Amino acid sequence: MSRRVIRTAAVLLAAGVVLAGCSSSDDSASGSTTTAKGGKVLSVCSDIPYEPMEFEAEKGATPSGYTGFDIDLVQQIATNADRTLKVKVTPFDGIIGALNAGQCDAIVSSLTITDERKQNVDFTTPYFDSDQSILVKADKAEQYKSLADLKGAKIGVQSGTTGEEYVTKNQPEGSTVTALPGAADLFAALDSGKIDAVVQDYPINAYRATKKDNVSLSEKIPTGEQYGIAVKKGNTEVLEIFNSGLAAAKADGSYAKIYEQYFGEQPPAS
């Protein structure tokens, strides 16, 4: 889900594929999509699952069918803006292409704000501070306390992410790096012994460590990364909906309430 540096070639390819199936009358990216009853829809593209940020909810538990920190936050924003939230599950490597092809109004998918991405999308103000981290088997926690300790080890990363980029730039001597499509694939590979460690966003690894006794968070790697919500360049209407919604959620305490629900603590002071 920090999540994520998308390769240019993958973005262009995804954009081409999405455009091929996109009607010229699709106006969802303008924020003007309507429901059958005439109410406005706010549609977001999200790569799911990416717990605890976005994942499928129990049937009937939420209006959109999905939940998680990101989804609950944008549900609050959509409700306050009198919009119906629609979540479109979208593979991460093609998510910017999908946005720019009009398949959704915004990307809400633990998307790290980077200068490269700013060339293709407009970002809201940052809404979440994130770092990188290392998750290992619990019985290897003393052996693998840091990235430097992973010399000769097998390291797993999510394809197209800033975690992958970080490990590529700081790869320990003799280690091998395996890129997999999603967090669930990485956790399965760690459990089966195919890899020795998972390097990815801190909140994702930390959440996993609280849910599974067989794994341990061995290191939090400060990178100063921040998540933002992305909209198509020039889409000031939707950008304002999210920026004003984020500001309101922080001012009225709903942001802090959602944060504490998923992370067991109050958000850091901004």
Please check whether residues 73 and 149 belong to one and the same domain. no
Please check whether residues 240 and 193 belong to one and the same domain. no
Residue 3: inside a domain? no
Higher-confidence position of 211 and 170: 170
Domain residue limits at 235: 8-127+228-263
pLDDT digits (tens, 9 = 90+) for 50-91: 999 999 999 999 999 999 999 999 999 999 999 999 999 998
Please check whether residues 134 and 112 belong to one and the same domain. no
Residue 255: inside a domain? yes
Q: How far apart are CA 193 and CA 184, in angstroms?
A: 14
Name the percent of the chain lying above pLDDT 70: 85
Report the pLDDT averaged over residues 249-256: 96
Please say if the pLDDT value at position 7 is more than 50: no
Residue 111: inside a domain? yes
Q: How far apart are CA 233 and CA 122, in angstroms?
A: 5
Residue 24: the pLDDT is 32
Report the pLDDT averaged over residues 2-18: 41
Tokens of 236: 């000031």
Report the pLDDT averaged over residues 151-180: 94
Residue 39: the pLDDT is 59
Residue 53: inside a domain? yes
Please check whether residues 169 and 71 belong to one and the same domain. no
Residue 239: inside a domain? yes
Report the pLDDT averaged over residues 147-163: 94
**Over the range 204-241, which residues count as b (16 or more CB within 10 Å of their CB) and which as e?**
bbbbbbeeeeebbbbbebebebbbbbbbbeebeebbeb
pLDDT digits (tens, 9 = 90+) for 108-141: 999 999 999 999 999 999 999 989 999 999 999 9
Residue 269: inside a domain? no
Residue 55: the pLDDT is 95
The answer to whether 173 touches 148, Cβ cutoff 8 Å, is: no
pLDDT band at 198 (very low <50, low <70, confident <90, very high): very high
Please check whether residues 242 and 209 belong to one and the same domain. no
**Cβ partners under 8 Å of residue 186, min gap 6:** 156, 157, 158, 180, 195, 198, 200
Please check whether residues 151 and 191 belong to one and the same domain. yes
Residue 169: inside a domain? yes
Report the pLDDT averaged over residues 197-208: 93
**Amino acid identity for residue 109 in this structure:** S
Please check whether residues 121 and 173 belong to one and the same domain. no
Please check whether residues 96 and 138 belong to one and the same domain. no
Q: What is the CATH number of the domain that holds 145?
A: 3.40.190.10
Mean pLDDT of the chain: 87
Strands 41-46 and 84-89: parallel
Side-chain half-sphere CA neighbours of 119 within 13 A: 6
Q: What angle do CA 81, 87, 89 make, to 5 degrees?
A: 155
Please check whether residues 181 and 142 belong to one and the same domain. yes
Residue 102: the pLDDT is 96
DSSP code for 34: B
- The H or E element spanning position 254 is helix 254-263
Please say if the pLDDT value at position 260 is more than 60: yes
Please say if the pLDDT value at position 168 is more than 90: yes
Query: Which pTM value belongs to this model?
Result: 0.76
Please say if the pLDDT value at position 210 is more than 60: yes
Please check whether residues 106 and 16 belong to one and the same domain. yes
The answer to whether 10 touches 93, Cβ cutoff 8 Å, is: yes
Q: What are the residues facing 17 on neighbouring strands? A: none
Please check whether residues 20 and 95 belong to one and the same domain. yes
Residue 268: inside a domain? no
The secondary structure of 41-80, three-state, reads EEEEEECCCECCCEEECCCCCCCCCEECHHHHHHHHHHHH
Between the CA of residue 157 and those of 95, 209, 230, what are the distances in Å?
18, 17, 23
Domain count along the chain: 2
The answer to whether 134 touches 259, Cβ cutoff 8 Å, is: no
Please check whether residues 41 and 81 belong to one and the same domain. yes
